[in-house]
Amino acid sequence: MISDLTIRKNYSSEVRLWLMTDDSCMSLSRIGPGYVVLSDATDLAPCEAKVRMLIDDREHEWKVVVKHGAVPFDNKVAVDLVDG
């Protein structure tokens, strides 16, 4: 029988992602190199923003530029990392 003590704990049980602008906070379904995917498609003008990732109560944040904005018929949004 497998006990709770023998189960490995090297996975993330909770991962949350957001794209945060001056005006709003949008939930993300995934992030990748050079893009983010919005959970709900929306209109978004090109802007500076932050990608915030919360993994098991550990927070990570990156400044990005939303290069071309977003349109309501495409959830994938191109972003560039901002140095610094």
4-44: pLDDT as tens digits: 555 556 666 789 999 999 989 999 999 999 999 999 989 99
Contacts 24+ apart (CB under 8 A), 3-11: none
Q: Where are the alpha helices (DSSP H) in 1-74?
A: none
Q: What is the pLDDT of residue 24?
A: 93
The token duo for 73 is 């018929």
Report residue 1's pLDDT band, with 50, 70 and 90 as the boundaries: very low
Mean pLDDT of all residues belonging to the chain = 88
Under a CB-based contact definition with an 8 Å cutoff, are residues 49 and 64 in contact?
A: yes
Neighbour-count burial for 24-43, b at 16+ CB within 10 Å, e otherwise:
eebebeebeeeebbbeebee
